[in-house]
Structures are given as C-alpha cells and as structure tokens.
Amino acid sequence: MTLPTLDNLGKGPFFLMAGSCAIESNDLAFEIAEKIDGITKAMGIPYIFKGSYRKANRTKIDSFTGIGDIKALEILQAVGKHYSLPTVTDIHESAEAAMAAAYVDVLQIPAFLCRQTDLLAAAAQTGKAVNIKKGQFMSGASMRFAVEKVLHENPEAVVYLTDRGNSFGYGDLVVDYRNLPEMSAMNVPVIMDCTHSLQRPNQTTGITGGQPALIETIAKAAIAVGADGIFIETHPNPSVAKSDGANMLPLDQLEGLLEKLLRVREAIV
C-alpha cells in the first residue's frame, strides 16, 4: 500500500479520499470500501479509505458521535488490511494521535483545529502522514504555518492540505479556488473536500444542512484548477447516515462522477 505523493502522482489521475462520515458499523464500512475499491482499481485512481472513529464537533448534545473509539479504529484497520488500502481518520486532541496512529495510515486534522500547534506536533511525531484541513476562517496562503509545524517535528512527513470552503455569513460556505494554487505552492498534495464545502452549518434546527446537488460542480472546478486529490463522503443511503447525511454523495453516483473527473483531468495535463 502506497500513499499518494507529488512524486508518484505525476501526470496520472488525481487520488481519492472517500468513505462515510463516521464509522457506523463493520458491515457498512466494508460495503463502502468494497464498492469504491473496485471502482478506483478499474480506473487507476489511488484510493484512501476515510472514516471518523469519533465525531467530536457536533451541534447538539444528543448528536451521534460514534460506536466506540477502539471498536471503530479496529474496523478501519480491518478494512485497510483486507483491501490493502491506506486509511485516514480525524483526531481532535494531542492525546489521541498515538492511539489512532496504531490503526490508520493518515491522521487528519479537522478544519477548526488547524492552528492547534500541540495537535499538529503530536500527529507529526507519530510518523504517520498528516492531512490538514484548511480552516473555514483561513486563506490558503496562511496554511503554510500549519505545514511548517508538522515538518518542524518530522521533516520527512507526508503532508496533505485539504480545502473545505470558507465561512460565508453565519450559515453558509463558499469555495474560493484561489486557495488551491496558493496551497500547491507549498509543494504538498492539495485536496478538495467536495462534500463539506457544501455544508450549511449553524442551522437553528441543530442539524447541519447541505447542497449535495453541487458536489459535481465543486469537484470539476477543483480538478480544473489543479487539485491533486478529491475528498468525498459517501453512503449507500445518505438519508439514514448517522452523521453529515445532508451533504453526502449517494454511493451509486460515485462511479459516474469519477469518470467525468478523469476526463477533466486528462484535458488539463
């Protein structure tokens, strides 16, 4: 299993980071991984399986947070071993870095936490790759300091930067595509999170909304301006997903979307 880097991507396809928002069950994780693994292998797209072992950033006290940390991490590990896939999950506090690193290949720093020096340092110290999501309140150019914090602790670290939109008022996000080339200038692979970018956060209902009909639009534009990777949360039935269902891509629509994105990629390289 090889992680995608600028050196091995070259002029080939973009890579995909995808899975359900949260690890809900063993069966669901394997169902999603099997489907996406088959699609991406047929298309020659490098694939990293994504699943959050715990959701720490929830609006309401009774929102779903997870099935148990170790149980979910063991499912992530089992998926990775069964399909020979790298895996990624979020961490939220410094103490979680070593725990999660024992099970996955990439540690993801949530957007709200991308300035947390101790968290970035702890992730780097594990020796795992680190995917830093750009804060909704930050420019692409300002993310160089987050990259520097990781590389200060581990100069050999594989670092990814992921854009997920910028706050637009209290309850919306907008994607500024200038951020992608700004982050690419830091010589790290840049990813577009095509699902969280379409969230409608901070709704008075306590449930985050979304605009999943625009996932294809966000993804096509990202590939066109040079994104190295695409991040998509997907589920066989988003309406029953336990987390972020309002902005997920239905799993049966993923193959068609990837086919279109490959054609965009071929047109620009």
Q: Is the pLDDT of residue 246 over 80?
A: no
264: its two tokens: 């965009």
Please check the confidence at residue 240 and state whether its pLDDT lies above 90: no
- Tell me the β-bridge partners of 87: 49
Task: Give the lowest-confidence range in 5-9, 84-88, 151-155, 156-160.
Answer: 5-9
Q: What is the pLDDT of residues 51-62, one digit of tens each?
A: 999 987 766 676
CATH number of 13-268: 3.20.20.70
- How far apart (Å, rounded) are the C-alpha atoms in residues 226 and 180? 7
- pLDDT tens-digit readout, 100-118: 999 999 999 999 999 999 9
In which band, very low, low, confident or very high, does the pLDDT at 182 lie, cut at 50, 70 and 90?
very high
Average pLDDT, the chain: 92
- Is residue 239 over pLDDT 90? no
Model confidence at 203: pLDDT above 70: no
- Looking at the predicted structure, is the pLDDT value of residue 199 above 60? yes
For residue 17, give the H/E element and its range.
strand 15-19
**Does residue 123 register a pLDDT over 70?**
yes
HSE-CB at 172 with a 13 A cutoff on CA atoms is: 5
Confidence (pLDDT) at 212: 76
- Give the per-residue pLDDT at 208: 56
Q: Note the pLDDT of residue 243.
A: 78
pLDDT at 261 over 50: yes
Residue 269 pLDDT: 85
For residues 76 and 90, the answer to whether their CB atoms sit within 8 Å is no
Backbone angles phi, psi at 106, to 5 degrees: -130, 130
Phi then psi for residue 65, to 5 deg, are -115, -20
pLDDT at 190: 98
Helix axes 254-268, 26-43, angle to 10 degrees: 30
Report whether 134 contacts 104 (CB < 8 A): no
Number of H-type helices and E-type strands within the chain: 9, 13
Residue 152 has pLDDT above 70, yes or no: yes
- Averaged over 218-238, what is the pLDDT? 96
For 83-96, write each residue's pLDDT tens digit: 999 999 999 999 99
Q: Where are the domains of the chain?
A: 13-268
| pLDDT the model gives residue 204 | 46
